[in-house]
Structure 1
Amino acid sequence: MNQKERSKILIIDNEDRNVEVLESILVSEYDMIRSYSGTEGLQKAIDDEPDLILLDNMITDIAAHEICRTLKNDERTKLIPIVIVTTPDEKDEKIKSLEEGADDFVNKPVSYLEISTRVKALLKIKRLQDKVVKERNQACQYLDVIGSIIIILDKDASVTFANKKACNVLGWKKEDLMGKSWTDLFPEDTKEIQEKELFRILEGKRELPEFHELPLLTRNSDGTTEKKLILWHDVILKDEEGKIIGMIRSGEDNTERTNMEEELTKANEKLRLSHKMKDEFLANINHELRTPLISIKGFSELLYNERLGELNEHQKKTMKTVVHNSERLRHLIESLFYVSDMQNETIKYTFSLIDLKEMLESITAGMLSNIEHKGIEFKKEIAEKLPIVKGNSKYIESVLIHLLDNAIKFTPAGETVSLSASEENGIVHIIVRDAGPGIPNDILSQFCTDIPEDASESDICCTNRDYGLIICKKIISAHKGDIGIDSEIGNGTEIHVRLPAFESEKTINE
């Protein structure tokens, strides 16, 4: 075994002979630390960070059970396993030690098999505990680097968790904020209203708004207070019986956002004069969007894979939805920067063979929770067998996600969204139908015109939805396919995507 991998064992015993017996049994596998008094042993437990402690039950200067109590109440030593070395007639002290946190005991005279077996078992448990602590700390680090304010409140509106961003924005140290009533941060002029609304939410008497902006009192370094507007998004926490046990609040400081918007306004004026500055700006925004998304996705996967503990069926389903939607958000971000790449002629399509049936099934599975949440009906008719197509799977998937997401978004509750896919004369034909408000003719006419290479979003008078459709058209055209739209105001929209099937006799490089 490598020297760095050897576990350390601390022996606390007054008798040289007892220490030597234990050491002779264990020294071949472990690094041994000797201590001949309880006082010295407590100090070495902190300084030397042993992986396990063998404590003689009859240590003289401090009672063994008091040593156990001290070690288990100290954050630095509470996870170190303690084995009491005792004799059968030391029953009372042994019981006291176990009650104060000792993990196991062995009787004198010490048996080689017994002591080595107990030590190995407890060290294995210790390694598992260390792994859990490491993963918990990693999860907290994810929350600290997300870049958003994260606050967790219990049923009584007391703070049970605050990430680094929350502490920085609110001006509190984490240890001072933990356990504090959230209502203490409400300004006096709005406190009564905010407090009433908060407890109505926690009591289940009010539905959560999607976003809401609330003022909070924050502390400055000089001790003064300042009112800031925070844009919040809340998630209710429930137990297995469906009872509300608290909430998660994620927020953004709108005060900072206002300052940022002013800076961006100045930057945009310069960007109109410099194409290079525009590229640098977009690259920076790209980074700012992707960085927190990586943290969100990583932490979500950590929870979904049950690295922080087992999940019940409902929790597992919920986390699966979060993971799916984080991937969906990634596709939306990629689409956002497609236009910039197109204008700069930096788009590179990597073509491969795509199973559209499998792709459509995967996409629709990830959107089922959104469909159920909105209360719309979803009809799917995908042919049993669809031809393989050749294309860039990332961009094709982005197009299909965008079209389905639009259909769900613009269809009112109680109406129907449908998806069909079939093969017609060597062409894969995909149809997405919604029952939304339809697209005006003047907007549709722009869809029929290609985007100029030097155009910007401000040059195209479309909604975000329709500008996205123009991007979709560009992608499908690059795959030698086409998109058609049938839409009428008040009667919904039907989008047709046609892609050529891959001809098996051709090589993949053609």
Structure 2
Amino acid sequence: MTGKDKILIVDDEKINIAVLTSYLTDNYDVITAYSGEEALKIVKNDVPDLILLDVVMPGMDGFDVCRIIKHDYKLDFIPIIMLTALTSRDDHQKGIEVGADDFLKKPADRFELDKKITALLRIKEQHDSLLRDRNKAYEYLDYVGVLIAVLDRDYKLIHINQKGADILGYNRNNIINRDWIDLIVSESYANFVKRKYDMLLDGIMDENECSEYPIMTITRKERLFKWHYSVLKDAKGNITNILMSGEDITEKRKDEIKLMEYARELQKSNDIKDLFTDVLRHDLLNPAGLIKSFTELLEETATSERQENLIANIKRSNIKLIELIENAAKLAKLESIDEMVFVKTNISQIINDVQDNFGQELKSKNMTLKIETFGQHQALANPMIEGVISNFISNAIKYSPQNTNITVKVENFTDKWKISVADQGDGVPDKDKEAVFTRFNRLHKESIKGSGIGLAIAKRIMDLHGESVGVVDNPEGHGSIFWFTLKKML
């Protein structure tokens, strides 16, 4: 390969070929043929960039050779200069009809020959460049994941990418020049689609407007597509074609319908939850309050030790019931909000205030609450953080044996405080450490004590703070350490 353009000289006279070869050999790769039949074989096998073609030859003349190359071979553009001693207008007209690009009178003038070859090769290079760009564009369209099609003004398909043909199930060569609406649009949508196309072609519809309509595959299976449009124009600005891209949204639409159904069911569920919360707050809490009042009256009128024990059991059970109702309502309220207001909070002060609430319970079990905090511990928190600390201490008292210690610590971890409550109870098995904070995962956890609502509330409060909460084994013997973190307030 020399990188030079390849020129085929066709002439039955050797002297003519020799002269032309001498003119061209320095700048071009020259190949020769001495008959029309030989020229056609060379064109097929060794596609030249330009052909110098004699008209008058024995057998197949230059007009026949030109016609076959231009009309039958369907090769990319190859410029043909016809060399002829014929000068009549009819001969020139015949040459134009068979596809000749230029004419040169014999004997050829070297300067004129060079000028015509240069001009036609420049045109061929531009033509080939356009073809390369077009082929690259078509190749790109074959890889995009949507259907791309081009229609003419009669709704005929003049191009479709491979992806589009695959979606429809057709060989794209078999559907080019077919009526697009008759081919894939169901009869019930045909008039709607025609109106859309006509509005585009008449410049009435905005190109940014899109539409949805179903199409039929080769198996007559219906698929819903979303269509985007553009118009193509000629050099004079006249609209000639419609370029459209279609995205298959069949499954997406089904998913949207399912999502809407799910949203409706979720709304029903939320309505039921709200109803249940109202029942907890009013319809259940009011009777529980009455039971509390009646129990206090019965305590004053008890006449025997047995009555006192029964009343005490009723009172304890009712207190648990009221606590459960209040916590369930509180959890429901927390679950319905997405954010909290945070303020500057002294964690040490909150811990000291909380411990005063548990004096009687600690005394009844002969337990000691040790608070290991030193100095100020300013954090960014919501006042509900007090409930988390109270819950951890309350659980530690409930589920630890008598004569044990509970330790509350505040530890410094760079930009956070870590607050922990350590007990000496039975502890939490490793397999339940995560579930202990999740109320609805605990319905059949016999190894976990309590209702779990308090810890679920604590977990929700910490989630709204964007902080962590957890439980680990107490390294100092039996028991657990419940902990959470808070951002420091500098």
Instruction: Name the TM-score, length of structure 2 as normaliser.
Output: 0.47
